[in-house]
Chain A
């Protein structure tokens, strides 16, 4: 009975939906030269692609075996605990965000981020609660890679870093600068508690990964070239971050025309 119902349902559904509104979209046609008129950049400078692909394969395996299962487990924690950990880690990044905002000449944002850090570190109990967000002090991320880009440093070539994932020459330099100048890391090392540094990095990775489980899986399961898809995604995301893209300045608009036959 159930099977019969489904069969009837889909026959009716398929027939009617095509008749009512499906046919038109199947007849969508485009101008013959659309592909040639686009200004979207296709190529990313990737001279060490074979090496990058090998590292990417390793990272992908590490992600499947280690990071993703941990991130899925982390997702099962009660949401206040997840939010608390995420807020705490984010608050630890705040001093360097302020430094980078100053270096990029974003005085207003630097004041706001300083306010966020002070409010969340005190009223927000060491950053566990994002009280600042509730009083209108929004979170804004800036790093040394973005600062270098603002100063005119180009991307350099694309690099896939073992465990850290997609990057480029400039952003890798920025990441090293972050590691060397982070005041929290410097403090724990000076106190003889250097083990906290990799633990913090791992916690950040799990927290960030847990936020994009579905998106990564959708990309991984449906790409003809997952490596190229991640590379393109990385560049688009970084470009938007560097330009501090708001809603009005989205990624380049593909020239896709619609005509009916």
Chain B
């Protein structure tokens, strides 16, 4: 019985995304379910749970684009190796942020309540309503389509954009290191290690 359960989980994670991508809401629901399922499976070791979630996030977020956006002006002056290292660090940072946020929602019900297309910017907005016993919270996912694939470019909770907040936060730290991306990489790596320890403990 237990083996059957694991088998179902493996198959679920391995099914190609595009089978669910008839429309963006279905695709997003499938990806969110993967993350929540990882949290709901209490038998998974924390390290492995996070790796699964990180994989899902990296597959579905426009990580490089967001990394570059939040780096702001420091991006231009950095060399290629620094940029590569920064993107790698940022992707993990993004995964840690999303995983940490979704952890709080893992025992709650949700529904994707609304989906609309921002024609001007060619962005798909999908509202996710998360229900608790005392109310609900709406998370809006900003999704962009590229070459028949969907990528999440931002998510908004209580009118607060994750990407805009990260850019402001990074900008403040970058200012202290004279917008040197190489120095910033060390700070980001250190923060990632700290966050990682918290999420797996």
Contacts and interface: CB of A to CB of B under 8 A. Distances in A.
Given A21-B16, A222-B191, A254-B161, A214 B68 contact: no
Contacts of B200: none
Chain A binding surface SS class: helix
Given A25-B59, A86-B134, A20 B146 contact: no
A10 B14 CA distance: 11
Contacts of A213: 104
Contact of B163 (A5, A222, A225, A254): A254
B189 to A, nearest CB: 10
Interface residues of B, number: 80
Contact of A232 (B59, B96, B165): B165
A240 interface: yes
Contacts of B151: 25, 28, 258
A80 to B, nearest CB: 9
Given A250-B125, A258-B146, A17 B159 contact: no
B145 to A, nearest CB: 9
Interface stretch (A32-40, A91-99, A175-183): A32-40
B173 A225 contact: yes
Nearest to A258: B146
B168 A218 contact: no
Interface of B: 6, 10, 13-14, 16-18, 44-45, 48, 51-52, 55, 58-66, 68-69, 71-73, 75-76, 93, 96-97, 100-101, 103-105, 114, 116, 118, 121, 123, 125, 127, 133-135, 140, 142, 144, 146-147, 149, 151, 153-154, 156-161, 163-173, 187-188, 191, 194-195, 198-199
Given A29-B64, A38-B69, A221-B100, 14 more contacts: A6-B45, A9-B6, A9-B10, A16-B14, A28-B62, A35-B76, A211-B134, A222-B195, A227-B172, A229-B166, A232-B169, A253-B121, A254-B163, A256-B163
Interface of A: 5-6, 9-10, 12-14, 16-17, 20-22, 24-26, 28-30, 34-36, 38, 40, 42-44, 79, 82-83, 86, 211-215, 217-219, 221-225, 227-229, 231-233, 236-237, 239-241, 245, 247-248, 250-260
